[in-house]
Structure 1
Amino acid sequence: MDPHQIVSENEWLAARKALLEEERAFTHARDALVAKRQALPWVKVEKTYTFETPQGTRTLADLFGPRSQLLIYHFMLGPDWEEGCPGCSFLSDHVDGMLPHLEHHDVTYVAVSRAPLAKLEAFKQRMGWHFPWVSSHGSDFNFDYHVSFSEADKARGKALYNYEEQDYMNDELPGISAFYRDEAGDVYHTYSAYARGVEMALGTYAMLEFTAKGRNEKKDMREWMRHHDRYEESAGRVAPGG
């Protein structure tokens, strides 16, 4: 990392105040963007989706529980995978502490994967998580929300992800989707984000960005991040120079 200029306290304060003005502008711009997100039109969910849960088979409407809003995290764990995606696991490490706050603000959070429920339960126990996690195995849900991809997609080398046709990357990819249930019980899809669009949920990144070295990555999290039970002295660590 290049050495930083060393200055007096007064010079540092002047530079910090100048940056603060840009940070305030960014905050106001983000507030305006979020307002546009909430103003998006909705799509009524006409198809009946079912999920396997520890309490039995449930519909999408059932997943809301007593609340009117539902956040679904599309967790990358396919039917044939041995364990969950490290990046999705990294995000999921942030969830349990948020649950009571979301639930008391009329929001239910549920993770959904295509792997069978028994595989989800086993990995959840290994990771020590408590958030709801259900299986869409045998359902079109993941395919309809463009986070799972078919053998046909793989064969042609293309898939629809993050609202555009892209080169095929994997049979599963991450995302987050928001739904609303009205008093009549009808469910509406209100928002979905994919790829880097889910980064706002990564509190670790937000904390790292307060530090001198920031994320300290040359490319992305795969350079250093591991399942939290797999960090070792010789792996999963960013060197001082990045």
Structure 2
Amino acid sequence: MSEHRVGTQEEFEGARAELLVEEKELTRRGDELARKRRELPWVPVEKDYRFETEGGTRSLADLFDGRSQLLVYHFMFGPPYEAGCPVCSSIADTLDPNAVHLKARDVTLICSSRAPVDKLLAYRERMGWSFDWVSAGGGDFHRDLGFTYTEEELRPFLAGEIPATVSQMAQACGTDVLGYVTEGPGLSCYTLSDGTVYRTYVTTARGLEPAMAYYGLLDRTPLGRHEEGEEAHWLRRHDEYRT
């Protein structure tokens, strides 16, 4: 950091003003993308998905909990996992306190995983979260959205050199690499209109960054994300940090 360019307050203000123009342009572009996202065609959900919840078996329509919109975070917690994915756990730390605000805007937010519901609820208690968490079990809900993979599909990846971060995450979840990468993260959105459930949006990978608030904050620090060249992923569950 000591080798970084140093300037006067006037130089900073001039450079900051130039950057602000680009930041405002990006904000306006983000607003335009949000509008186009809302204009995507709705797709009727015709399959009868079933979920295990604290209150018993529920349909997808039941998960709206009386609201017209539903956000589902597909949390990586597969049947062989002993604990949830640390990265998904960091995302859940952001999702949990926002659920009450989303409810005020007619949106129900839940998490869905394929592990048994009792295991999910025990982990939720450990993490101190309160959002509703359902088990999709052996159903096709995650698979149909591209968030679950077969061993055959994963064979090319497994035959190559496994990144150290993948092995790290698998170990942190109490499973092997295959068990870990069988699951994938994602966000899917639905609306309930005249008794029909429609899928309106799906994303994964960096599309999940709005739920990773820490990255937006790190992007504004002198070192940024500072992840380049790291063999181990820095993220931990919030009760595992030592500092």
Q: Structure 2 length normalisation: TM-score?
A: 0.86
The yes-or-no answer on 1:139 pairing with 2:139 is yes
Please name the residue that 1:196 is paired with. Answer: 206
Give the Cα separation in 2 of the matches to 1:85 and 1:95. Answer: 15
Report Cα offsets for 1:145-171 as digits up to 9, x if no partner: 11011233234659xxxxxxxxx9920
- What is the root-mean-square deviation in Å for CA atoms of aligned residues? 1.9
Report Cα offsets for 1:7-43 as digits up to 9, x if no partner: 1111111010000001011111111111111111111
Please name the residue that 1:176 is paired with. Answer: 187
Find 1:205's aligned residue among 215, 224, 229. 215
Give the Cα separation in 1 of the matches to 2:32 and 2:136. Answer: 35
Alignment of 1:93-132 (within 5 A): 93-132=93-132
Question: Which blocks of at least 5 consecutive residues in structure 1 are unaligned?
Answer: 159-167, 234-242
The yes-or-no answer on 1:78 pairing with 2:78 is yes
1:124 shift after superposition: 0.7
The yes-or-no answer on 1:14 pairing with 2:14 is yes
Give the Cα separation in 2 of the matches to 1:6 and 1:133. Answer: 49
Instruction: Letter of the 2:192 partner, please give it.
Output: R
CA contact (8 A) 1:87 1:221 kept: no
Please name the residue that 2:167 is paired with. Answer: none
| More RCO (CA 8 Å, sep 6+) | 2
Seen in structure 2, the aligned counterparts of structure 1 residues 225 and 204 have a Cα distance that, compared at 3 Å, is same
Please name the residue that 1:26 is paired with. Answer: 26
Question: Which blocks of at least 5 consecutive residues in structure 2 are unaligned?
Answer: 159-177
Give the Cα separation in 2 of the matches to 1:219 and 1:129. Answer: 33
Which of the two has greater helix per residue? 2
Alignment of 1:199-238 (within 5 A): 199-218=209-228, 223-232=233-242
Please name the residue that 1:38 is paired with. Answer: 38
Give the Cα separation in 1 of the matches to 2:31 and 2:230. Answer: 26
Could you say what secondary structure the match of 1:98 adopts? helix
Please name the residue that 1:164 is paired with. Answer: none
Instruction: Letter of the 1:179 partner, please give it.
Output: Y
Seen in structure 2, the aligned counterparts of structure 1 residues 157 and 231 have a Cα distance that, compared at 3 Å, is closer
